[in-house]
Amino acid sequence: MPTTTVHLIRHGQSEFNAAFDSIKRIDPMIFDPRLTELGRAQAAALADPARWARVELVVASPFTRAIETAQLAFAGHGAPMRIEALHRERAEHSGDIGRAPAALKADFPHLEFDHLDDPWWHHDPARPDAITIESEEILSARVAHFADWLRARPEREMAVVGHGTFLRFLTGRPFANCEVVTLDF
């Protein structure tokens, strides 16, 4: 069975990241945050057609910060972008609560969101307005499912734009904003 090379990329600095760090790790209540100016610069710095020449598919989480990072990092590349919720961030804070597929489609009309559940992030249906923390057990199962999903893809080289906690559970190591780690699956 041939291996698949996957470039794992954490999104650029988000408004949540900046606020969370500046107010001593208190949840700033910023839902589905966008990239900061620094985050946009971090993502744009990844744009290198030669580096990504063999990437056949870019997979971004449905969070706005991941989509914005993918668009900047792969601007002009030409590989299709797929939005996939399997590698969304672990639900722990306001920044880990997403937006409905229709709202995402309004902001990113060139991308497909119809395949996503609504809501597509971790939640408790009995408490729809609450931030429900995703257990490590649920997250670990989702990480394993995503690894299997990557292995089953027909592409030989992909880029995945995701999130710090999810990527740490997948690889066993922390990720800085816009850090790239390449693995073979």
- Give pLDDT, residue 27: 87
Which structural domain, as residue segments, surrounds residue 114? 5-184
Judge whether residue 1 has pLDDT over 80: no
Region of 91 (left: φ > 0; alpha: ψ -120 to 50; beta: rest) is beta
The structural domain count of the chain equals: 1
List, in sequence order, every residue forming a beta bridge with 40; answer none if it has no partner: none
The Cα–Cα gap between 160 and 158 comes to 7
Tell me the per-residue pLDDT of 83-93, one tens digit each, with 9 for 90 and over: 999 999 999 99
Question: What integer is the mean pLDDT of 117-133?
Answer: 93
Pull the structure tokens for residue 180. 């790239």
Q: Strand, coil or helix: what is 134? A: coil
Tell me the per-residue pLDDT of 4-43, one tens digit each, with 9 for 90 and over: 999 999 999 999 999 987 777 788 899 999 999 999 999 9
Domain CATH number, residue 131: 3.40.50.1240
- Give pLDDT, residue 121: 97
